[in-house]
Every structure is written in C-alpha cells, then in structure tokens.
C-alpha cells in the first residue's frame, strides 16, 4: 500500500460509516421490520412502489459484509432484518426460489423466477452465514442454488437461462428490465450467478458447485469475452451474440470479479487463463475512461448509415466498479482519479450517491436515490473491498 492508498482507505471507511450505511439504516429501514420501497432522486419516500428482491438481497449482502468487517451491532440488526425479508416474504414456500417483487403490503406481486435475482439472494444469504454462522442462512443459500441448477442450467449447450414462471415453466418475456433484450442468455445474469456462487463456495466447499464455477470462468473466457476484449451482452441459447453494445461498467466489474473467483478456486492453470483474460477486459474498458477519471456508461455501434449511440452519463455503480477494477489491475492513479471524481460529483448532500451525473457534472434527480435497482451494494462493496 502506498501513502495515497492509505489515504484512500481512510476516506472510503469514512464514506461507508458516515454516509452510505447511515442513509440505509436511518432513512430506508422500517422500525416494524423490512425496508421502504423507494426514495426518489430528490430524497422523498415513496412506499407505493413495489418492493424488489434485488434491493433486499443487496441490502442483506451489504450489511452482512459490513458487520463481518466492522462488527457494529446496528449492521447485524439490519442484516437480520434483510434476511428475514428474504426468508419470510420473498422465498416461495410452494415452488422454491424467490419472487421478483412484492406489493407495498408485502404480498407477492410479480412471482416470476428471474435467476439474476435468485443469484443475488444466494450471494446475500451466503454472506450472512459467513458473518454470523447462522445455519439457517446457509441452508437457504444452498436451496436457492439448487433451484438455479435444477431450472436454469443448460446441460447441453452450457450456461444458464434467464427466467421461468413461478412454477418453473418456460416464460415468454425473459428480460431483466425494460431496457434489455429478450434473449435466452445474458452476460449480466452469468456474471451475477458467478458472483453468488463464489460467495457460496467461500463458505460451502461443494464439489458440484466448484465444477460450476470452473465452467462459468470458461464460459466467460471462451464465449462471452469478444475478440476486442469487451464483454458480449446478449446471446441466444446456442451462444450466438445478439448485440454489439459495449457496457464499460460491466467490463471493469467483470475484470475483477472473475479474478476473485479464480483465486478462490486455487487452480493455477485456470487462474493464469482468467488473469490474462481479465487484463484484456480491463484494458478494453479504458475506452470509456475520461480525462477527469470517470467512466462513461455504454456504447452501441451504429448500423449502416447511422453513427451509433454513446451514453456519456456517469452512473454511480460504474464509478464504484471502476475504482475496484483499476486497483485490481494495479492502476492506482486511475483508481484515485475516479475516487476524486466520485467525491466531487456523485455524493448527494442529504445522503448516499446520485444515480448519475451528466457529462457537465449535473446530478440526475429523476432516477432513484434508493429503490428497486438503486442499492448500497456497488458503492458499499467498493468501500469494503478497499478496506479489506
């Protein structure tokens, strides 16, 4: 660690303990249990919104990890609160897996089984067990892992399918969100299945789980990473690419998450292959890095006769992943520049981070400060990766 990274560590510890986590404890946590559904971009509560599985699973992971690292009892209380929501509200007692969303009163709303969300619940439950040793959390994580293996794994062509109905039947609309393509397989779901499975393998050394992690690493290196180093984003069941879009944030995020998995597995041959691939991904992501240290969002090349689309907004999660990804590659100065950009532009004066800022530094107050997709996991995890 250099003097500069010692300062970075102190600054992100202060950001975590004095801004990010207090916002979620004091403004999002309900005294009666559970969490508010949403705080809009101007800081106003909105409990008419649906409660999302992803939000609650990411809250569970964040406070479990924070308690494990820092030992503060209020973090344990919040983690227990989030675990109870996953166990008692989101977990489907009849068919297994977890619901996509709940109504404001806590009853099931959208009962589809989106494997991206189930993977996050695995991630959160495994981290809660890691932090507390509570066997119930490990049992739920394993049960959710099995639901992914039983209903999403493509045993013929490899990888994982996107979604099913509540009772695990094929579903017409497999999209993760309205902005996504309706394709059978996506990079995003595979990345977060990898992440969830890695968290589970850290606390449960099952041999089948290990094989799946090796397979996932090879799917990324052999199928998902394109010749130009960027990640392919959307695929059909046969792994034919369906889009040329580039997501700079996912590039830099994957460049360190894949390394983390390979390091945990301890296979030196696999690790060498993955590290080389991750260096290519991280280098490709630098196309989106700006002179001010920030990372822009995405680029979609144009078809014949068009110039394509470049989204130059600086999203909160992309900046957080850029700091971690650059540090993982040994690019300390790039990481520090991005952290300086975050401090100057993304920290909201009334708590948490803005969803994004535009190229001129104007904050986006139209999108959530906290909600279905806006969670404490990317920025919280950035802080905790640096702290640990």
pLDDT in the model for residue 305? 60
pLDDT in the model for residue 299? 96
Q: What is the CATH number of domain 3-387?
A: 1.50.10.10
pLDDT in the model for residue 385? 98
CA–CA–CA angle 368, 166, 367 (5° rounding): 5
pLDDT in the model for residue 306? 59
User: Helices marked H in 16-163 — which ranges?
Assistant: 21-23, 53-70, 73-85, 115-132, 135-151
21-62: per-residue pLDDT in tens?
999 999 999 999 999 999 999 999 999 999 999 999 999 999
- Rama region for 304: left / alpha / beta (φ>0; ψ in -120 to 50; rest): beta
- Rama region for 30: left / alpha / beta (φ>0; ψ in -120 to 50; rest): beta
Measured from the Cβ of residue 363, the count of other Cβ atoms closer than 10 Å reads 17
246-273: per-residue pLDDT in tens?
999 999 999 999 999 999 999 999 999 9
Domain assignments of the chain as residue spans, ordered by start: 3-387
Is the distance from CB of 187 to CB of 250 less than 8 angstroms?
yes
pLDDT in the model for residue 341? 98
Q: Find the Cα–Cα–Cα–Cα dihedral 47, 100, 198, 257, rounded to 10°.
A: -70
CA 250 from centre of chain:
10
Distance CA 253, CA 220 (A): 13
Residue ranges, the chain, pLDDT below 50: none
Distance CA 104, CA 81 (A): 17
Burial 27-56 (b: 16+ CB within 10 A, else e): bbbeeeebbbbbbbbebeeeeebbbbbbbb
pTM, two decimal places: 0.97
């Amino acid at each position: 660690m250099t003097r500069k990274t010692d300062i970075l560590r102190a600054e992100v510890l202060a950001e975590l303990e004095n801004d990010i986590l207090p916002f979620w404890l004091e403004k999002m946590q309900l005294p009666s249990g559970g969490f508010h559904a949403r705080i809009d971009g101007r800081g106003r509560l909105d409990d008419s919104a649906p409660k999302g599985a992803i939000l609650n699973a990411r809250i569970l992971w964040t406070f479990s990890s924070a308690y494990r690292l820092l030992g503060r009892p209020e973090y344990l209380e919040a983690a227990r609160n989030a675990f109870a929501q996953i166990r008692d509200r989101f977990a489907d007692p009849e068919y297994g897996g977890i619901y996509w969303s709940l109504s404001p009163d806590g009853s099931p709303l959208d009962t589809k089984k989106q494997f991206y969300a189930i993977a996050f619940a695995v991630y959160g439950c495994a981290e809660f067990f890691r932090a507390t040793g509570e066997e119930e959390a490990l049992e739920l994580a394993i049960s959710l892992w099995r639901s992914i293996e039983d209903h999403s794994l493509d045993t013929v062509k490899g990888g994982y399918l996107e979604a099913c109905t509540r009772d695990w039947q094929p579903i017409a609309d497999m999209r993760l969100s309205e902005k996504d393509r309706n394709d059978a397989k996506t990079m995003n779901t595979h990345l977060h299945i990898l992440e969830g499975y890695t968290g589970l393998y850290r606390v449960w050394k099952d041999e089948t789980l290990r094989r799946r992690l090796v397979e996932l690493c090879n799917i990324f290196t052999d199928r998902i990473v394109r010749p130009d180093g960027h990640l392919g984003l959307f695929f059909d069941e046969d792994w034919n690419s369906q889009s040329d879009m580039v997501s700079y944030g996912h590039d830099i995020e994957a460049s360190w998450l894949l390394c983390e998995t390979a390091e945990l597995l301890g296979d030196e041959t696999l690790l060498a292959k993955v590290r080389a691939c991750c260096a290519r991904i991280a280098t490709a992501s630098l196309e989106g890095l700006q002179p001010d240290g920030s990372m822009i969002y995405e680029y979609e090349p144009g078809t014949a006769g068009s110039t394509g689309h470049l989204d130059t907004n600086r999203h909160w999660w992309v900046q957080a992943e850029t700091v971690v990804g650059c540090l993982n590659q040994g690019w300390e100065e790039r990481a520090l520049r991005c952290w300086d950009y975050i401090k100057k532009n993304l920290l909201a004066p009334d708590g948490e981070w803005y969803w994004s800022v535009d190229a001129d530094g104007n904050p986006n107050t139209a999108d959530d400060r906290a909600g279905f997709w806006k969670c404490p996991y990317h920025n919280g995890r950035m802080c905790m990766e640096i702290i640990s």
